[in-house]
């Protein structure tokens, strides 16, 4: 094996952990935003983009 194998494996490992952490962060943040939107809509607050007749 080459002398820089440990460096390459560590770099790949750190990159994989970073990407997985970012995906997890985006996923959990998206769920939180959807939960907040549901709470606001159930309280009667609608989005500005929603038309008067578009209420589901």
pLDDT at position 15, please?
Answer: 98
pTM given for the model: 0.67
Q: Profile the chain (56 residues) by mean pLDDT over runs of 10 residues.
A: 86 98 98 94 82 58
Among 17, 39, 21, 18, residue whose Cα is nearest residue 29: 21
């Amino acid at each position: 094996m080459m002398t820089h194998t440990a460096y390459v494996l560590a770099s790949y490992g750190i990159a994989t952990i970073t990407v997985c952490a970012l995906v997890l962060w985006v996923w959990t943040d998206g769920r939180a935003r959807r939960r907040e939107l549901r709470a606001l809509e159930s309280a009667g607050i609608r989005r500005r983009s929603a038309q008067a007749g578009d209420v589901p």
